Structure 1
């Protein structure tokens, strides 16, 4: 599947981070990029990056949790561009919490964005991807392979996405659609800030979990400060899934991510994973 200005890709969650970087990189590779975000008022950084790169983006509104918004966006792409060759499901939201200290409604909200949002977009796009022999790419996380403390709901959503897409992949392939997932590790983006919580207040309210939460936060903040990829580096794996002749189903964005996920894939009894993540909470 060679890059061509005639090929159209729709990307969700492009206001910052990997989505923004992937939108610019795909446009530089010759794709017509429909860059979507929930609030187009937050498109300033995206438009600036496109201008600096000398590329044009078709910026549109799309809320992955609203089926009508998704349908309108996909229908609009077909009406204006006549085709859809690829979708990159990138929109998502972070979450911090543990079962005893949060409501089931909180968990449902995480699933709506990170799992059902992916399904809404993918379902609307698939008829058009079948018509073009296209690609369905979803940015998941290393947290979709290894469960991480105080990320139960987030990891559950990413596990669900991974399982859904792994199950869908051979079915879609029979009809000419290549399915891939891209698994970033720590990326220096606004994603952590977008969790939207006061970390000190969370620790103060954590009750018997306070010490473990503080240990987890100390470790995680240090990782993001000292070992995170740039969004452009992580977007390289997304571009590979978009442009490779035969894209892999599962791509990690760094050597660290490959090593980390590899721990799970060779851990038949779970002891290696729990030994690793247990150390994160003291």
Structure 2
């Protein structure tokens, strides 16, 4: 994979995309390269880049895709990477905060360490990348795109910690939007619904932990949890493909005046709209109660 030398600013606009080993991040990295960007794609673990490298080669964009290692929960590493990208390429035109992790649980059974880890990845990880990126995005008049979730708008059963983190990201970015705009930076949040990625597999450990907790004295949640799992598996059967989300993200990168909030499917728009029209909360809680009954 070719990279520009530190002495030669990139001829293409440069975008940093986090969490690109699979799914939405992978599809976004390849699609952005196809759309004319130089993509700095990050993965967290050594050896987790094979699928991305293959996809880039098949698409014929390997020379425009630069792979870096990054654990977004490390603020020093995040800042160092962002500054090195801007130094190496002479610019940073956009950031796509995509890296994150799912978690299924409930507050009575989750440990505080588990809850804190959800926040570290899904909230502080976004903050760790965004803070050092802002000076470079101000310099380029660039874009900050953050993948949240419909779970950043609508609280969902057995997702208290995950939704809390996504709510926090939405609140941070909604508050940042006018401030960043005054400095010439475009801020957008992208809200997918169910997406056909490894999300369900990745929350398996959380499900096992919850099941163990229920077996160890919290049977009060067992029936509700079983209903939740049945409903969730069904929702992922017809899930949106990652490429559909990536197409939305690349469209935002190419838009000089993108909206602040974008859903990636009609289903996501309908679901988020339920909350945004629900002034007293009864529509949302009435609907989600049906997931576990």
TM-score, normalised with respect to structure 2:
0.92
- Quick check: 1:18 aligned with 2:24? yes
Contact preservation (8 Å) 2:104, 2:207:
no
1:169 maps to: 177
Instruction: Report how far residue 69 of structure 1 moved.
Output: 1.3
1:257 and 1:201 map into 2 onto residues whose CA distance is 28
How far does the alpha carbon of each residue in 1:163-218 deviate from its partner, in whole angstroms, 9 at most, with x for none?
Answer: 00000000000000000000000000012211241746633532210100010000
- Quick check: 1:104 aligned with 2:112? yes
Mark the runs of 5 or more structure 2 residues left unpaired by the alignment. 1-9
Contact preservation (8 Å) 2:105, 2:206:
no
1:197 maps to: 205
2:206 and 2:107 map into 1 onto residues whose CA distance is 18
How far does the alpha carbon of each residue in 1:27-51 deviate from its partner, in whole angstroms, 9 at most, with x for none?
Answer: 0000000001111310000001101
Instruction: Report how far residue 71 of structure 1 moved.
Output: 1.7
Q: Report the RMSD for the aligned CA atoms in angstroms.
A: 1.3
Instruction: Report how far residue 103 of structure 1 moved.
Output: 1.5
2:61 and 2:113 map into 1 onto residues whose CA distance is 41
- Quick check: 1:159 aligned with 2:167? yes
Contact preservation (8 Å) 1:93, 1:194:
yes
1:220 maps to: 232
Mark the runs of 5 or more structure 1 residues left unpaired by the alignment. none
2:196 and 2:265 map into 1 onto residues whose CA distance is 13
1:217 and 1:200 map into 2 onto residues whose CA distance is 12
How far does the alpha carbon of each residue in 1:236-268 deviate from its partner, in whole angstroms, 9 at most, with x for none?
Answer: 211122111211100000000000000000000
Contact preservation (8 Å) 2:22, 2:51:
yes
2:81 maps to: 73
1:37 maps to: 43
2:88 and 2:213 map into 1 onto residues whose CA distance is 50
TM-score, normalised with respect to structure 1:
0.96
Ranges of 4+ aligned residues in structure 1 off by more than 6 Å: none
How far does the alpha carbon of each residue in 1:121-169 deviate from its partner, in whole angstroms, 9 at most, with x for none?
Answer: 0001000000000001100000000000000000000000000000000
Contact preservation (8 Å) 1:62, 1:70:
yes
72-81 or 26-35, which deviates more: 72-81
